[in-house]
Amino acid sequence: MNILKFFTAGSVDDGKSTLIGRLLYDTDSILADQLEALQQSNRKNDDGSIDLAILTDGLRAEREQGITIDVAYKYFQTEKRKFIIADTPGHIQYTRNMVTGASTAKLAIILIDSRNGVVEQTIRHSYLVSLLGIEHVVVCLNKMDMVGYSETVYNTIVDQYKKLAADLGLREVTFIPVSALKGDNVVNESENMTWYQGNSLLHFLETVDVEVGPSYNLARMPVQWVVRPQTDELHDYRGYAGRVLSGAFNVNDKVTVLPSGSSSVIARIEIFDQQPQVAYAGQSVTLHLKDNIDISRGDVLVNSDHLPQSSQLIEADLCWMDAKPLDESITYLLQHNSKVTKCKIREIVYKVDINTLEKQDAHDFKLNDIGRVILKTADQLAFDFYTENKANGAAILIDSRTNLTIAALMFRAVAD
Amino acid sequence: MSKYNLDYLDELEAEAIHILREVAGQFEKPALLFSGGKDSITLVRLAEKAFRPGKFPFPLVHIDTGHNFEETITYRDEMIERIGEKLIVGSVQESIDQGKVVEQKGKNASRNSLQTVTLLDTIALHGFDACIGGARRDEEKARAKERIFSVRDEFGQWDPKRQRPELWNIYNGKIHKGENVRVFPISNWTELDVWNYIKREQIALPSIYFAHNRDVITRNGQLMAASPFLNMDAEDVIEHKKVRFRTVGDMSCTAAVESDAYLLDDIISEISASKISERGARMDDKVSEAAMEDRKKGGYF
């Protein structure tokens, strides 16, 4: 059994919380004591049925205001798969929280209120999905009960969205007409929309192929920690511990250490008491090399035949996440996996109006702004382009005055 | 080679090891908070996988309420002996003796909330800059919102409105002097995942997790172990029942459930079929809808 992490984009008004509540409720994922709390709540739907949206409210302020402020993680499983839902806020002022929830997701559910069709918010959410390179997109046309379960309405919105998806370069898009409130096509297939030939949302989530087909060659492992017991019997033991970001390493593969450029051959792979022949993407391993070379935390081990990009000047998409705006005169810290280096923003190339997708000239970057920049780092970075290898193509910016994480970066090109 | 995908337990394990190694790499003086419960026992196993054959780059810290189940302390001491790592104990009794906290009175008195003061004092005394804990997001709705690297201010407080964005698998552990980070490597595990992992790894547990006979009283609909730490009066009727504990905390706030589960497989089927959440057996969460959120803001785990 494997795990699928997905996130939901939409607002309470679109029925996002109700949809998640419905998924949990109809898969029997809600326990008796939680259900009891739900039934005792004063919040009820107009027809007196329990308001499933309450299930996703976490913080006091969220309950008070009836909105989602921060990402909440929910867990459920069926016989086929385990699911982690990142329930992200939909309002524009919480764009950074959505980016946070989406950054680790493999699938996005975009919610559309079928009474309204594609609106500004849909464009914004879809843009973020394309920016973050989410592999699979499910568009749920919600509130079908309020448009008479109309096939015509469904077709009109699907056509609208397909145009948007083409503009954004979204490839894998699936459309499902649902009513989260009534439960149509969420877990159980709807009897009200016989014209719809597809599956329910849950069926799709259970069966969508999310196996990573990493380009086997893009073997990358940032060194997190050097294991050196320094005991008498393990005097020469020196293991490089880290998590394989992408690709795979085999025993006897030639590897290069970046940024130094020195190389060696993998002598042994350890996973605790096991010694496998191959270390795959996602595994936390300890590698041993044939030669004694200088390697420390922050260095990256890569397959010598398939080197990543290496540069100090990089063109990147940037999502600004701090209340204090971008200041081109400040030296920030850039963290790329386990590597931290100083960084300055050299140039703002453009900013994107995320409601209209227009690129604009810009001289500033404020909270929730997204656009393209050129940055310069103090050390060489060993990275891949985000489109080719997400795991090695992203970084964060830290303001060393406040230590806050202030931006998300996705590497797009080497700058001249 | 074709496509490759990790099994869910392998994926959760690899993620947790990655987080533990980030703690080792990013902090000067980390510590692993060990309660004797199954989640922190799982953390110890994960730390072995992350750092062996080397030593752990951190000591284990136990905040001892003095109201422990004896079985937990026995287990703790045997485990420390086996793994050969350092244990630091912070004592709630000492905090009481020093007048820093006052013992609660009345029928529902518990030392659970007093732990926070002892924890913060222990962190300050040893200068810990990161504390690894076994909290999981599926336990409770405030925990569902907390980051894996959760920054606490000088007073140990969690500010849910000022959480740092946590992007991809990149963890920002930068802090100012006096602050510390609580780190939760098994955030994404569910209760059932922990049990399945314990089974797969054949990890020994304190015996109170398994069905045994015990004197209990019924309090607010929950079965509480009869002990000198529980303020009992004439109304309380002691019964002898076959029970087990689903979570292990302070004796005065952890309720038992009636159970016939003697083996790990029994427990796994019991939990799979259970209709009550794990923290449903924690009196400390019954106080109000925001009980956990409020305690976290005050410095609790």
Is position B238 within any domain? yes
pTM over 0.90: yes
**Cα-only R_g, chain B:** 19
Query: Using 50, 70 and 90 to split pLDDT, how confident is the model at A239?
Result: very high
The pLDDT value recorded for residue B1 is: 42
Between CA B189 and CA B132 the distance in angstroms is 15
B111: CB partners within 8 A, 6+ apart: B65, B66, B67, B92, B103, B104, B229, B250, B252
Q: Which residues pair with A390 in a beta bridge?
A: none
Query: Using 50, 70 and 90 to split pLDDT, how confident is the model at B100?
Result: confident
Between CA B9 and CA B5 the distance in angstroms is 12
Asked if residue B213 has pLDDT above 50, the reply is yes
Share of chain B above pLDDT 90, in %: 47
Length of chain A in residues, anyone? Answer: 416
For the stretch B246-264, pLDDT in tens is 887 777 778 888 889 899 9
- B43 is in which domain, residue-wise? 8-193+290-297
* Residue B220 DSSP code: T
Length of chain B in residues, anyone? Answer: 301
Which residues in chain A touch residue B277, judged by CB atoms under 8 angstroms apart? 31, 33-34
Is position A213 within any domain? no
Contact A2 B8 (CB under 8 A): yes
- A342 is in which domain, residue-wise? 309-414
Q: Is A256 in the same domain as A182?
A: no
Q: Is A315 in the same domain as A290?
A: no
Distance from CA of A151 to the nearest CA of B (A): 38
Residue A244 near residue A311, CB atoms below 8 Å? no
Residue B12 near residue B51, CB atoms below 8 Å? no
The least confident of A8-17, A354-363, B140-149 is: A8-17
Query: Using 50, 70 and 90 to split pLDDT, how confident is the model at B149?
Result: very high
What sections of chain B are H helices per DSSP? Answer: 8-26, 38-51, 70-83, 92-97, 115-126, 191-201, 264-273, 291-297
The pLDDT value recorded for residue A117 is: 94
Is position B51 within any domain? yes
Asked if residue B277 has pLDDT above 70, the reply is no
Between CA B253 and CA B107 the distance in angstroms is 11
Prediction ipTM score? 0.93
Q: Is B88 in the same domain as B188?
A: yes
Contact A338 B22 (CB under 8 A): yes
Q: Is B42 in the same domain as B129?
A: yes
The pLDDT value recorded for residue B80 is: 96
Contact B276 A229 (CB under 8 A): no
Share of chain A above pLDDT 70, in %: 91
Domain-ending residue, one of A138, A173, A207: A207
The DSSP code sequence of A148-204 is TT-HHHHHHHHHHHHHHHHHHT---EEEEE-BTTTTBTTTBPPSS-TT--S--HHHH
Which tokens in the block code for residue A120?
């500004």
The pLDDT value recorded for residue A65 is: 63
In A24-131, the DSSP E strands lie at 72-77, 82-87, 107-113
For the stretch A310-367, pLDDT in tens is 999 999 999 999 999 999 999 999 999 999 999 999 999 999 998 888 999 999 999 9
Between CA A129 and CA A399 the distance in angstroms is 26
* Residue A132 DSSP code: T
pLDDT averaged over every residue in chain A? 90
Is position B45 within any domain? yes
Q: Is A352 in the same domain as A387?
A: yes
CATH of the domain at A179: 3.40.50.300
Is position B199 within any domain? no
Q: Across the interface, which of A284, A337, A398 has its CB nearest the CB of B14?
A: A284
Residue A190 near residue A278, CB atoms below 8 Å? no
Q: Is B180 in the same domain as B221?
A: no
Which tokens in the block code for residue B274?
């259970």
Domain-ending residue, one of A156, A178, A207: A207
CATH of the domain at B88: 3.40.50.620
Q: Is B30 in the same domain as B172?
A: yes
Residue A109 near residue A140, CB atoms below 8 Å? yes
Query: Using 50, 70 and 90 to split pLDDT, how confident is the model at A137?
Result: very high
Which one has a higher pLDDT value, A274 or B91? A274
B179-202 as b/e: b if 16+ CB within 10 A: ebbbbbbbbbbbbbbbbbbbeeee
The pLDDT value recorded for residue B2 is: 44
Asked if residue A6 has pLDDT above 70, the reply is yes
Asked if residue B237 has pLDDT above 60, the reply is yes
Is position A152 within any domain? yes
Q: Is A338 in the same domain as A382?
A: yes
Residue B216 near residue B224, CB atoms below 8 Å? yes
Mean pLDDT, residues A190-200: 95
If one counts every other C-beta atom within 10 angstroms of the C-beta of residue B231, the result is: 14
Q: Is A234 in the same domain as A127?
A: no
Contact B168 A394 (CB under 8 A): yes
Q: Is B128 in the same domain as B68?
A: yes
Q: Is B162 in the same domain as B226?
A: no
Is position A344 within any domain? yes
A44-53 as b/e: b if 16+ CB within 10 A: eeeeeebbbb
- Euclidean distance between the first and the last CA atom of chain B, given in angstroms as a whole number: 44
Share of chain A above pLDDT 90, in %: 71
What does the angle CA B261 – CA B217 – CA B64 come to, to the nearest 5 degrees? 75
What total of structural domains would you count in chain B?
2
Which tokens in the block code for residue B42?
């799982």
Q: Is A276 in the same domain as A334?
A: no
Domain-ending residue, one of A274, A303, A332: A303
What sections of A260-397 are H helices per DSSP? Answer: none
CATH of the domain at A239: 2.40.30.10
Q: Is A76 in the same domain as A137?
A: yes
Which residues in chain A touch residue B137, judged by CB atoms under 8 angstroms apart? 73, 75
A131-154 as b/e: b if 16+ CB within 10 A: bbbbbbbbbbbbbbbbbebeeebb
Q: Across the interface, which of B8, B141, B280 has its CB nearest the CB of A3?
A: B8
Which residues in chain B touch residue A70, judged by CB atoms under 8 angstroms apart? 145, 160-161, 163
The pLDDT value recorded for residue B256 is: 87
SS3 A272: coil
Q: Is A165 in the same domain as A236?
A: no
**Chain A residue closest in CA terms to B170:** A337
**Helices vs. strands in chain A: H and E counts, helices first:** 7, 22
Interface A-B, measured as beta-carbon pairs within 8 A, has a size of 178
Kindly give the interhelix angle for A120-131 and A151-168, rounded to the nearest 10 degrees: 40
Contact A71 B175 (CB under 8 A): no
Which one has a higher pLDDT value, B289 or A291? A291
Q: Is B53 in the same domain as B152?
A: yes
Q: Is A198 in the same domain as A224?
A: no
SS3 B135: coil
Q: Is B177 in the same domain as B248?
A: no
What total of structural domains would you count in chain A?
3
Contact A227 B145 (CB under 8 A): no
Between CA A317 and CA A308 the distance in angstroms is 19
The pLDDT value recorded for residue B292 is: 66
The pLDDT value recorded for residue B20 is: 98
Mean pLDDT, residues B71-95: 91
The pLDDT value recorded for residue A236 is: 87
Contact A403 B169 (CB under 8 A): no
Is position A212 within any domain? no
If one counts every other C-beta atom within 10 angstroms of the C-beta of residue B276, the result is: 15
Mean pLDDT, residues A215-237: 90
Q: Is A200 in the same domain as A231?
A: no
Which one has a higher pLDDT value, B290 or A400? A400
Q: Strand B60-64 to strand B87-91: parallel, antiparallel, or no bridges (unpaired)?
A: parallel
